[in-house]
Structure 1
Amino acid sequence: MMKHFLMNLLLSFIWVALTGSMYYSNFLFGFLLGFFILWIMNRNEDDQRYFFRVPKIISFLFYFLYEMIAANLQVAYDVITPKYFFKPGIVKYPMKARTDLEINLLSTIISMTPGTLILDVSEDKTTLYIHVMYLKDKDQFIAQMENGIEKKLLELLR
């Protein structure tokens, strides 16, 4: 998998050198072009993990960006308006993440979105305690976390 990634980077740098324009958009286009070329060349190989994982990573980044923008807009609206909208609460969230890497990445990503903060991880590493600034329904929040960020993150890592 690392071989495919490094080859993809090499192809994107070659594309940038051939076109002569050092822009992020040109590098991204070269990366996508290199990904497509590598996918065509390696369709019959047994190890196809790279070609499934890269689209999942891109999908996760867009999902996380959307969630972050939505949370920022919610917090900004609460700051700008004179009415007091937030209803803070602490949620005991049962995780499906088991390894230290999965738990660490999940807690970091949850803490990066405005309005949420990880308070603690249980001793047996099965539960996160999350402070939520806009908590309307605990069950709905838990379902949103399970079907959203945690599910997409674990698809990437497993």
Structure 2
Amino acid sequence: MKNRFLSNILLTFIWVAITGDFQFSNYVFGFILSFIILFVITRGDAKYFKIIPKLVAFIFFFLFELIKANLQVAFDVVTKKFYMTPGIIKVPLEAETNLEISLLANLITLTPGTLSLDVSEDRKVLYVHAMYISDKEEFISDIKNGFERRLLEILR
């Protein structure tokens, strides 16, 4: 996987050098073009060709959740009435390794209105403080089907 990624980066830089256009959009286009070329040459057998699209989709998903949470917190700050219903939720984990749990906890903490507090000793539960909990089960489902599922698809 490292070799394919490095080949993709190398082909991207070759594309940028040949075209002479050093704008960010040309780097993105070169990366996509070289990704397609590598996919065709290797017949798409490698794990790399499955992870990169999932990673790009995950980045867009995280940005959407980040913007949505920022708007929710900003709305609550600028209005007279507070809509907060704070609480601490136990989120059962499918993530097992330190990397998976750490990334999930950090993604939750980076989203405004939520904060990862602790992981249970057996590493089966993540404690999360949230500012807006209208339904406990829905909150848990959002984390499990959103951040955790998508993160594990990339890492496993």
The TM-score, its normalising length taken from structure 1, stands at 0.96
**Whole-Å Cα distance in 2 between the matches of residues 144 and 117 of structure 1?**
15
Asked if 1:15 is matched to 2:15, the reply is yes
* 2:110 alignment counterpart: 112
**Whole-Å Cα distance in 1 between the matches of residues 152 and 24 of structure 2?**
29
**Whole-Å Cα distance in 1 between the matches of residues 107 and 82 of structure 2?**
26
Matches within 5 A, 1:44-83: 47-83=45-81
Residue 155 of structure 1: how far off its partner (Å)? 0.4
Q: Bigger CA drift: 17-26 or 31-40?
A: 17-26
Q: Which deviations, in whole Å up to 9, do the C-alpha atoms of 1:6-33 show, x marking residues without a partner?
A: 0000011011111111111110000000
Match of 1:81, as an amino acid?
T
**Whole-Å Cα distance in 2 between the matches of residues 81 and 16 of structure 1?**
48
Give the share of equivalent positions with the same residue, in percent.
Answer: 54
**Whole-Å Cα distance in 1 between the matches of residues 73 and 90 of structure 2?**
22
Residue 48 of structure 1: how far off its partner (Å)? 1.2
Matches within 5 A, 1:30-41: 30-41=30-41
**Whole-Å Cα distance in 2 between the matches of residues 43 and 28 of structure 1?**
22
State the secondary structure of the residue aligned to 1:84: coil
Q: Which runs of 4+ in 1 moved over 4 A?
A: none
Q: Which deviations, in whole Å up to 9, do the C-alpha atoms of 1:97-142 show, x marking residues without a partner?
A: 0111100111011110000001111111110110000111111101
Listed as ranges, the gaps of 5+ residues in structure 2 are none
Q: Aligned residue pairs: how many? A: 156
**Whole-Å Cα distance in 2 between the matches of residues 24 and 81 of structure 1?**
39
**Whole-Å Cα distance in 2 between the matches of residues 104 and 142 of structure 1?**
17
Residue 4 of structure 1: how far off its partner (Å)? 0.4
**Whole-Å Cα distance in 2 between the matches of residues 15 and 79 of structure 1?**
47
**Whole-Å Cα distance in 1 between the matches of residues 141 and 6 of structure 2?**
37
Output the aligned Cα RMSD: 0.9
Match of 1:157, as an amino acid?
L
**Whole-Å Cα distance in 2 between the matches of residues 94 and 52 of structure 1?**
27
Q: Alignment partner for residue 100 of structure 2, among 94, 99, 102?
A: 102
**Whole-Å Cα distance in 2 between the matches of residues 116 and 91 of structure 1?**
10
State the secondary structure of the residue aligned to 2:141: helix
Q: Alignment partner for residue 139 of structure 1, among 128, 137, 140?
A: 137
